[in-house]
Each structure stands twice: as structure tokens, then as C-alpha cells.
Amino acid sequence: MNLNIRSIFLMSQAVGRLSMIPRRSGRIINIASVAGLSGSMDLKAIAYHTSKGAVVNYTRALAGEWGPYGITVNALAPGMFPSKMTKGTIQQVGVDALAKGAPLGRIGDDDDLKGAALLFASAAGKHITGQILAVDGGVSAVHSH
């Protein structure tokens, strides 16, 4: 909870108060997860799912609150990507098995979040706020978690 939601809350409040609100302009891009879009029967992951669900709703609430200041607030919701956190799962289950559950037939790589982040950060996203973009190869479109 400290890493996934408290840190986002404290950082956005500080940056908003000191810079974005006075300038009446800004872009906030939070990192949620597809795990925050639904519940899970995996009790070992309940804190993770809960904290990422909080990021989803914090993003939406802050977008509503700070929209009048010209600030957009959105979130990326990655699916399975190689990371320190997923290393054990990838080793145990295997990339091929994880990729089979995705309509695109693969897990994420280093390039897959760049375009979505650029959209939210640039003028191309100036009329997008309060949105959560799943970057998961289509997994959230065809499976419930």
C-alpha cells in the first residue's frame, strides 16, 4: 500500500501544489495494473490487487478534481511484463505458457508502454483524463482475473 498508492498520492499532491495547479497545466500518469481492474481468488495477491485498484480509482477521482486546473490524470495498467516482481512467475510458469493466455500471443516487452505513455503525456492526449489503459496483449478483453 505504501509503494503502490501512498507514494502516488504524496507525489501528485506535492507536484500539483508546487507546480501544476499554479501553472494550470500538467500531466500525471500513474502506474496501475490489470490486477487493479478486477478481483482475484489468489489470497497471496490480495494486497497487490487492492492497492492497484486504489490507484485506478484515485486516478479517476483526481482527474475530476484537477481537471479544472488543466491537469490530466491517467493510468497505464500493464499486464504481464518481465520485472523483478514477475521474475519468479515467469521462471515457474514459463513465457510461452503466460503468452498463450493473451490474444496477441506474447507478454509485454520494453517498448510496449512507451506509446501509451507518450499519448497521455503529449498534446495528443490533451482531452483524455481519468482513463485507465490496459497494456496487456488483450488479456483483460477476453479473461476476467
Q: Is 69 a catalytic residue?
A: no
How far is residue 138's CA from residue 133's CA, in Å, rounded to a whole number? 11
Residue 113: partners with Cβ closer than 8 Å, 6 or more residues away: 76, 78, 81, 135
Task: Indicate the DSSP class of residue 128.
Answer: -
Do residues 32 and 77 touch, judged by C-beta distance below 8 A? yes
How far is residue 121's CA from residue 105's CA, in Å, rounded to a whole number? 28
Q: Which of 32, 48, 72, 79 is the catalytic position?
A: 48
What are the residue numbers of the active site? 48
